[in-house]
Amino acid sequence: MYHKILPIWILSFVPIFLWGQSISIRVVAKESGEPMYHAHARNHRTQEGQTADTEGRISLVGRPGDTITISYVGYRDSLLTLSEGQSSYTVALAVQAMDEVVIFAEDPFNRRAAEGRQNVSMEFIEALPSFNGDPDIMKSITFLPGVSAGKDGYAHMFVRGGDQDENLILLDGAPLYNVNHFAGLVSMFHSDMIRSVDFYKGYWPSRYGGRLSSVMDIHSKSGNYKEHKFSADLSPISTKAHLSGPLWKDKVSYMIGGRRTFMDLLFLRHRVNQIKKGDREGNSPLFTFYDVNGKVTARIGNNQQLSFSAFRGSDKLFLIENESGYISDDEYNILNQTYALNYVWHRDETTAVRGHLSSSSYRHFFEDLGKSGLPNNMDNQKGEEVEYRHTGNTIRTLKAMIHGDKKIDDLWEINFGVDHETIRYDLYLDRTSGLAVNGNYTPRNSTDLKGNRQPAYVSSIFTDAVYHVNGRLRIKAGIRLPRYQYDDYINWMYEPKALVSYDLTPNTTLNAAYNLQRQYSHLLSYTESEGYFREFYTTSDRLTPPSRSHQWAMGAFHHFRDRNSWLSEANVSLEVFYKHQSLLNRFQPGIDPDVSVVQYDEHLLRNGTSNTYGMEFLMQKTAGKFHGSLSYTWAHSKSQFEGLNHGRSFNADFDYRNSVNILLIYKFRKGYQLSAQWDYRSGRPFTLSNSLSTRDEIISGRYPMVKSINNSRLPAYHRLDLSLDREWFTKKRGNKQWFGISFYNVCNHVNPFYAYPENGRLTVKGFIPIIPGFHYGFEL
């Protein structure tokens, strides 16, 4: 089937390269020459507006004499007058002075949000209160309605009732999986290396596939094309730095950056070594993480660009215990690594072709080395009991994509492409116990299991089209046709989508959207008795087909443009949605979770369904010295599996019902900024025993009885974060410096991590209290 469709499909797009004319504007930063992604251009005559792509290019319909305004967050606006016979322009924007009006969003909110995309600028992310003064991309997204951060200690997202594995996270086009640092308090993304974030939760372009709930497309910065720049930021928890500059002025740039925590070196390493040697009793956790980013970007003439980027992030958590001579050494490790090659060719003012090639690898493992020995002053010939346990999951992907876009006058916009992805998932367990005497080890019990999976292959063709019916009505439709293959199992799928948007007024837009998505990776997760959250992944096969999600949504979006009103540049939106998911899977580990993961076929509930519906409200003020936002979500999500809860539906694990996020940012004097963010969520469901069993002749004790799943709720979650920051420039050299203090969970409210019944009462446990921090940074 594919070999018949593909040639016809490709040839059908050949004629569009020959049609239409447009104006091309490339927007760059004056000081560095970097492309200005999401810069905005508006034609005063037609009132048409467009935003720049990743290379800073804007395609806009115009004629000689038209005046175009080009703007970008934190930069001075620029006016451009179109000339006769010229169709390509380059505009360099200069940075605004700090004491001028601050704008956190530039292009019209009502048009952009109504088309499904939420672009979150780094200027906005850096203004949010953050743990340790380090802006966190993952947590910043949770200010949007419909997005929840889950429980304390994890940086996962839960979007419109979807589970944590249902979000596609891309870094320069390469997929990432677990993006936690520091037990979830920090994500793996170095904010100084990131240019912008595009987030989709309802309707997204067909080039994104393989997930059910959302897409987060993260774009890294290009280096400085003009001069070398260095910046660093220091705090008690970690330090970060990045270096940028030209390899060939105005042609080739580089950027490299990294972060590392040194808490382990300063405070914990000596104590841990003493416990390991048996010199002291007690226990000590040890956290360590680092990440490294690098990117080289080359401009090939005026219409081509090639970039290579690399990322490596590692997170380790150790727990060392010595209790009466019994030494336990646990290590939990997460590793992400990506390489991405991206190419873009702007054939003319209306046509662009892009190529992408990437590899991505993910590894997580848990290693437990337990030893019980006799004190040193006793007979050591008796040896010591040694226990060893090593479990984990690895994922390796190779991805290739070619896609393009074409603008046909002012009526049609078409995107199209093909991609292929090879995915390999492996699960493993190595566990043994035995006796060690004078360096000789004799095993007693040993388990060595490997769930090596065959590679899975996904090939897709996709296309999207936007038709401007008139100046107010736009119809956007797309389809993705993936072919999934695992061993001898082949599944041909289709993913159609459609969106209609209508401008009720120039500042008010209505929309209605439908989206069908498929997912061929599956999560196997559980929480150990030690509190470690374990997550493993595997692929679809004949027994476990790809999951499916239908989503319908409607919304109204308004943008206030009155410069004289206190609501200047304010945004308001109201959306309702319904999502039906099917062919879902739920992992239920047995008595031995380690073995259950590798032999998951016997512990996987299949063919589950989930239904979620809700309402989302957002109000933002995005310009001036005072910025604020209020988001509220009401949603209800229920799941159902035939072999669980007697086949009856039950509240989904992260059915929060009510979520509120309030953000306040105030800029005062020169370079000062005060930020506050309050996050509230009603209690999430959990399973609580209803009664105790009766005694009988066989069972002497009483054990808890559970009659229904998720039959109770934890107390509500709420957290207030504060930060005060100041920026200034040195008098002699004009170098930028900054200093900030922050308070994470300033009310010291210990939010629930888990709960259990004790003596007839519910005992709630949490572990993150108030965490003060400060940081100092400079730029050279």
Model confidence at 458: pLDDT above 60: yes
* Amino acid at residue number 438: N
In the block, tokens 């159902």 appear at 640
Of 119, 67, 71, 121, which Cα lies nearest the Cα of 94? 71
Three-class HEC string of 460-522: EEEEEEEEECCCCEEEEEEEEEEEEEECCEEEECCEEEEEEEEEEECCEEEEEEEEEEEECEE
Q: Which of 508, 512, 510 is nearest to 498 (CA)?
A: 512
Residue 562 scores a pLDDT above 90 = no
Reference 633, options 669, 678, 682; nearest CA is: 682
Rounded Cα–Cα distance for residues 96 and 727 (Å) = 14
SS3 label, residue 86 = coil
Q: Check if the beta carbon of residue 50 is closer than 8 Å to that of residue 58.
A: yes
For residue 306, pLDDT over 70 is answered with yes
Structure tokens at 69: 């305004």
Cα–Cα distance, 190 to 240 (Å, whole number): 8
Is the Cβ–Cβ distance between 255 and 246 less than 8 Å? no
> What integer pLDDT is reported at residue 15 of this predicted model?
39
Tell me what pLDDT residue 547 has. 95
Letter for the amino acid at 641? F
Place of tokens 């559980």: 526
pLDDT of residue 484: 96
d(CA 220, CA 176): 14
pLDDT of res. 389: 81
Cβ atoms of 755 and 764 closer than 8 Å? yes
Pairing of strands 23-29, 88-93: parallel
Q: Which helix (H) or strand (E) holds 3?
A: helix 2-11
Mean pLDDT over residues 243-260, rounded? Answer: 92
Domains of the chain: 1-99 (2.60.40.1120), 101-682+714-779 (2.40.170.20)
CB 512 within 8 A of CB 480: no
Percent of the chain exceeding pLDDT 70 equals 81
DSSP character at residue 646: G
Q: Looking at residues 531-540, what average pLDDT do you find?
A: 80
Cα gap 717→563, rounded to integer Å: 38
Identify which of 455, 594, 458, 485 has the alpha carbon closest to the alpha carbon of residue 536: 594
SS3 381: helix
Q: What is d(CA 145, CA 644) in angstroms, rounded to the nearest whole number?
A: 31
Mean pLDDT over 591-608 rounds to 89
Token pair in block for residue 44 = 């005063």
d(CA 494, CA 240): 44
Higher pLDDT, 6 or 154: 154
Contact (CB, 8 A) for 225 and 29: no
The span from the CA of 350 to the CA of 405, in Å, is: 8
Q: What count of other Cβ atoms lies within 10 Å of the Cβ of residue 256?
A: 17
286 strand-pairing partners: 318
Mean pLDDT of 71-97: 76
- Between CA 514 and CA 202 the distance in angstroms is 8
pLDDT of residue 593: 87
Per-residue pLDDT at 174 exceeds 80? yes
Other Cβ atoms less than 10 A from the Cβ of 697: the count is 5
Q: How far apart are CA 192 and CA 196, in angstroms?
A: 11
Are 449 and 466 in contact by the 8 Å Cβ rule? The answer is no
Q: 142, 133, 234: which is closest to 186 by C-alpha?
A: 133
Average pLDDT, integer, range 62-86: 78
**Around Cβ 372, how many Cβ atoms within 10 Å?**
14
* Rounded Cα distance, 545 and 535, in Å: 20
- 732-770 pLDDT per residue, tens: 778 889 899 988 888 888 888 777 777 767 777 777 788
| Nearest to 738, CA basis, from 724, 756, 754, 726 | 726
In the predicted structure, residue 275 carries a pLDDT above the cut 70: no
Distance CA 385, CA 68 (A): 77
Residue 82: helix, strand or coil by DSSP?
coil
Q: How far apart are CA 450 and CA 741, in angstroms?
A: 48
* pLDDT tier at 51, thresholds 50, 70, 90: confident
Q: How far apart are CA 388 and CA 436, in angstroms?
A: 12
Distance between CA atoms of residues 693 and 696, nearest Å: 9
Answer whether residue 337 shows pLDDT above 90.
Answer: yes
Question: Could you tell me the two tokens for 531?
Answer: 């509190």
Q: What is the mean pLDDT of residues 53-79?
A: 78
Q: Which residues pair with 180 in a beta bridge?
A: 187
What's residue 279's pLDDT?
A: 56
Instruction: Say whether pLDDT at 415 is over 90.
Output: yes
Got the DSSP string for 99-167? TS--BS--S-HHHHHHTTEEEEEHHHHHHS--GGG---HHHHGGGSTTEE--STT----EETT--GGGE
Q: Encode pLDDT of 609-656 as tens digits.
A: 999 999 999 998 877 778 888 999 999 999 999 888 888 999 998 888
3-state secondary structure string across 665-692: EEEECCCEEEEEEEEEECCCEECCCCEE
Distance of CA 147 to the CA centre of its chain: 11
For residues 672-680, give the mean pLDDT.
91
Q: How many CB atoms lie within 10 A of CB 606?
A: 17
Asked if 308 and 252 touch (Cβ cutoff 8 Å), the reply is: no
Q: Tell me, what's the pLDDT at 377? A: 37
pLDDT tens-place string over residues 710-722: 888 888 888 899 9
User: Which positions ≥6 away from 402 have C-beta within 8 Å?
Assistant: 353, 354, 355, 356, 417, 418, 419
Mean per-residue pLDDT over the chain, rounded: 81
- Copy the structure tokens of residue 212: 């059910």
Decide which of 114 and 579 is more confident: 579
How many other C-beta atoms are found inside a 10 Å radius of the C-beta of residue 760?
A: 5
The pLDDT score that the predictor gives to residue 759 is: 73
Residue range 767-780: average pLDDT?
Answer: 86
The answer, yes or no, to whether residue 435 has pLDDT greater than 60, is yes
pLDDT at 196: 83
CA angle 459, 464, 470 (to 5 degrees): 175
Percent pLDDT > 90 in the chain is 32
How confident is the model at residue 625, as a pLDDT?
A: 79
Numbers of helices and strands, H then E, in the chain: 7, 49
Q: Which tokens hold the place of 214?
A: 């959302």
Q: Poorest-confidence range of 20-24, 279-283, 704-708?
A: 279-283
pLDDT value for 678: 92
pLDDT confidence band for 482 (50 / 70 / 90): very high
Residue 428 above 60 pLDDT? yes
What count of other Cβ atoms lies within 10 Å of the Cβ of residue 540?
Answer: 22
Take residue 458 and report the two structure tokens written for it. Answer: 């996904």
Q: Position of tokens 């199992």?
A: 489
Residue 296 has pLDDT above 80, yes or no: yes
Q: What are phi and psi of 272, to 5 degrees?
A: -60, -45
What are 8-33's pLDDT values in tens digits?
444 444 433 433 357 778 888 877 77
pLDDT the model gives residue 13:
43
Report the C-alpha gap between 430 and 413 in whole angstroms: 54
| pLDDT attached to residue 185 | 67
What does the block give as tokens for 740? 């900030």
pLDDT band of 182, cuts 50, 70, 90: low
- What is the per-residue pLDDT for 28? 82
pLDDT of residue 11: 42
Integer-rounded Cα radius of gyration of the chain:
28
Task: Tell me the range of 22-31, 56-65, 104-113, 553-562 where mean pLDDT is highest.
Answer: 553-562
The total number of residues shown for the chain amounts to 780
Both tokens assigned to 773? 């921090």
Per-residue model confidence as pLDDT tens digits over 350-409? 888 999 999 999 998 887 766 554 333 334 445 566 777 888 899 999 999 999 998 887
Q: Where are the beta strands (DSSP E) in 541-686?
A: 547-560, 570-587, 604-621, 626-640, 650-651, 658-668, 672-681, 685-686
Instruction: Compare 309 and 37 and report the one with higher pLDDT.
Output: 309
Q: Give mean pLDDT, residues 584-603.
A: 89
Sheet with 57-60: list strands edge to edge.
57-60, 23-29, 88-93
Q: Maximum distance among all alpha carbons in the chain?
A: 98
Task: Judge whether 509 and 114 are in contact, CB under 8 Å.
Answer: yes
Yes or no: say if 396 and 377 are a contact pair by the CB < 8 Å rule: no
The per-residue b/e assignment along 515-539, b for 16 or more CB within 10 angstroms, e otherwise, is: bbbbbbbbbbbbeeeeeebbbbbbb
pLDDT bucket at 211, cuts 50 / 70 / 90: very high
- Mean pLDDT across the stretch 461-468? 94
